[in-house]
Structure 1
Amino acid sequence: MNALKHGERSRAAQAALERLATLLDLDGPPGRIEGYDLSHLHGSDPVAGMSVLLGGVADTAAYRHFALREAPGGDDYAGLREVLRRRFAAGEDLGPRPDLLLIDG
């Protein structure tokens, strides 16, 4: 990607983060955003994915996949509880604490 397009994307991402901060009444634009999504195959093999945005740009090296061991497939609340407990119990091992969590439910 050339420098001009990169600059345009960077400005657009910053504007979007500022708008998000306004909409959510945050103190400032979120620097680290983590998004979580759960999935399963007809109630079995539940998994969760974590994606990360830093400054509005995807940080694919920080993405994580969690095989859910405790939560039954199809129980999204139990799955979210497990993945968030595991993520935050890991502390800085999975990166700094996010400024904003997005949960796909």
Structure 2
Amino acid sequence: MKIDLSTTISILAICISFAFGYATFKRNRSTDDKTDASEMTTVIVKLENIDIGVREIKSDMRAIQNDVKAQNDAIIRLEESLKSAWKRITFLESRRTLNNEEDT
């Protein structure tokens, strides 16, 4: 069983190509890991910014709800005051009508 030179060179070339392929795979894997880490960091930062925005919106909504509640309370007080004023006006008109009837 004699191995000639071309077979030896072919086997050696295959071994070298496997070695280079494995080295390239490892290098690309490392680069891919770095790229993935960078992308994940970017995603995390964007999510944190979204979270901050949502918190600000919630805070603004609470402030708006408090303003609306205060305005509703003011409207209720004004309606009560208006109702009381109309009762007084009606009372004064009825007194005026009675006084006018007595004068005539």
Give yes or no for TM over 0.5.
no
Structure of higher RCO (CA pairs closer than 8 Å, 6+ residues apart): 1
**Between Structure 1 and Structure 2, which shows a larger proportion of helix residues?**
2
Greater fraction of residues in strand:
1
**Based on CA coordinates, which of the two structures has the bigger radius of gyration?**
2
Q: TM-score, normalised by structure 1?
A: 0.23
TM-score (norm 2): 0.23
